[in-house]
Amino acid sequence: MGKTALITGITGQDGAYLSEFLIKKGYTVHGIKRRASLFNTDRIDHLYQDPHLDDRNLILHYGDMTDSMNLTRIVSEVQPDEIYNLAAQSHVKVSFDTPEYTANVDGLGTLRILESVRLLGLASKTRIYQASTSELYGLVQEIPQKETTPFYPRSPYAVAKMYAYWITVNYREAYNMFACNGILFNHESPLRGETFVTRKVTRALSRIALGIQSDVYMGNLSSKRDWGHAKDYIKAMYLILQQDKPDDYVIATGVTTTIRDFISQAFNEIGIRIEFKGEGSNETGEIAAINTPVFVEKIGESYLAPIQKRIGEKVVKVDPEYFRPTEVELLIGDATKSRTQLGWEPKYNLDMLIEDMMANDVKNMKKEAYLRDGGYRILNYFE
Ligand code: NAP
Ligand code: GDD
């Protein structure tokens, strides 16, 4: 008999990669998805199975982290060996607009999961992974950050996650539960939500190169992040729950990069050299050189994309609207404990991550350009 896992946040970036990974390992995966007015299962549609089939290995349940009774019923029905608590309002900037909701989902939501396991008498059976975050380090007290570095959260999101971190530790100590925190630094992928900085950049650059969009407005270009690939990071989640003893682990690459340099490297991927000029909200990124001609495909032919004519033009601009009331300027992790105790090692470096994300978005945007300029206009079809 394979193990049974319950994943909250299964429709998100990490939930999608983790489900696929666990199914390949022989798990039966249950996931909690929210009711939405549109389909919200794009990232896991390739794993979907008809509910009428016997022996399914992916089963979805409607639920919400704010609904204790619903969560308790699902945990009771599933009787999971492992719970991966990934559900969250995970956008830091949005948490300043929705602080109470974020606290409810990200903070109390974790308590609801822990308490349901305890009340259902599953404390000795069910292992729990809590999706903790490098945002806890906020105004960093030590460089690089490791498991013993003091926390200094800088957003309603991080404060809510701080509650979740400590309530996980508390349930471990108070009730002997196998409850663990993975303190994950930023991890990205082609499945990353479109409003996080890396995906916003790879989407916008692909559109600019193909002439669908003229420029992109960004926030703080100087902050630094330790970026890894989500495919590597979900493996760490699994390893954390396979240990003999519950514990907390930092997962990071140990390399940090500014947003500005991420943008330059992403432009390089499509043969464009960019130069940044000016400071603060007046900073701009101009096209300095086009090293490789960029082609757009159209039915039966290809032509030079409009980007070719744009040397000297400002394609990256700053809009202070994207600045945060309190910023996390620098994150860089020390994952020595994970490497030595879990045997975890990332396969992707930043170059490989950017290559993967750009290739995916250029492909997506080519499709969009084709539909706009191709043999028929898809919009007319729906008008
Ligand atoms: P994500 O793509 O934003 O996914 C979040 C998931 O949570 C989605 O499935 C979302 O559902 C679900 N969700 C949101 N509110 C919910 C609610 N009220 N009830 C039930 N489900 C809800 O995030 P991710 O990047 O996969 O990250 C996974 C977890 O790791 C999050 O807890 C995040 O805070 C944490 N984390 C992420 C990173 C990172 O760099 N990615 C680093 C450290 C920690 P919908 O699809 O319906 O929106
Ligand atoms: N989103 C966004 N959009 N961020 C921008 C932009 C922009 O236009 N311009 C600059 N930034 C800067 C932000 O100010 C921040 O310093 C950095 O880019 C990264 O922002 P995000 O990609 O939104 O991620 P985050 O670091 O705030 O949070 C992510 O990582 C955390 C782990 O450290 C999220 O995935 C969190 O859920 C996760 O906990």
- Asked if 157 and 135 count as a contact pair (C-beta separation under 8 A), the reply is yes
Say if strands 314-318 and 216-218 run parallel, antiparallel, or are unpaired. Answer: parallel
Per-residue pLDDT, 208? 86
314 forms beta bridges with 286
Distance CA 53, CA 74 (A): 20
User: With a 6 A CB cut-off, is 79 part of the ligand 1 pocket?
Assistant: no
Is there a catalytic annotation at residue 135? yes
Mean pLDDT by 10 residues, the chain (383 residues): 96 98 98 96 95 93 98 98 99 98 99 98 98 99 98 98 99 98 99 98 89 91 98 99 98 98 94 95 95 62 64 95 98 98 98 95 75 42 26
Distance CA 148, CA 334 (A): 11
Distance CA 8, CA 17 (A): 13
Per-residue pLDDT, 310? 79
Quick one: which atom of ligand 2 is closest to the CA of 195?
A: 1
Tokens of 148: 């013993």
Following CA atoms 19, 23, 27, 30 in sequence, which dihedral angle do they give, to the nearest 10 degrees? 40
Catalytic residue among 102, 126, 133, 149: 133
Quick one: which atom of ligand 2 is closest to the CA of 259?
A: 18
Is there a catalytic annotation at residue 102? no
Distance CA 166, CA 176 (A): 14
User: With a 6 A CB cut-off, is 200 part of the ligand 2 pocket?
Assistant: yes
Per-residue pLDDT, 277? 98
Is there a catalytic annotation at residue 321? no
CA of 125 to the centre of ligand 2 (A): 36
Phi, psi of 240 (to 5 degrees): -60, -35
**Rg for the chain (alpha carbons), in Å?**
22
Following CA atoms 299, 304, 309, 311 in sequence, which dihedral angle do they give, to the nearest 10 degrees? 120
Catalytic residue among 157, 233, 238, 249: 157
- Asked if 215 and 316 count as a contact pair (C-beta separation under 8 A), the reply is yes
Residue whose Cα lies nearest atom 46 of ligand 1: it is 11
Q: To test the ligand 2 pocket, which listed residue (195, 196, 283) has its Cβ within 8 A of the most ligand atoms? A: 196
User: With a 6 A CB cut-off, is 7 part of the ligand 1 pocket?
Assistant: no
Per-residue pLDDT, 382? 26
Q: Is the dihedral of CA 125, 114, 74, 131 positive or negative?
A: negative
User: With a 6 A CB cut-off, is 259 part of the ligand 2 pocket?
Assistant: yes
pLDDT in tens, 215-239: 999 999 999 999 999 999 999 999 9
Say if strands 295-298 and 301-304 run parallel, antiparallel, or are unpaired. Answer: antiparallel
CA of 361 to the centre of ligand 1 (A): 21
Distance CA 191, CA 230 (A): 9
Tokens of 210: 């193909």
Per-residue pLDDT, 213? 86
Per-residue pLDDT, 309? 66
Rounded to two decimals, the pTM is 0.96
- Asked if 37 and 116 count as a contact pair (C-beta separation under 8 A), the reply is no
User: With a 6 A CB cut-off, is 135 part of the ligand 2 pocket?
Assistant: yes
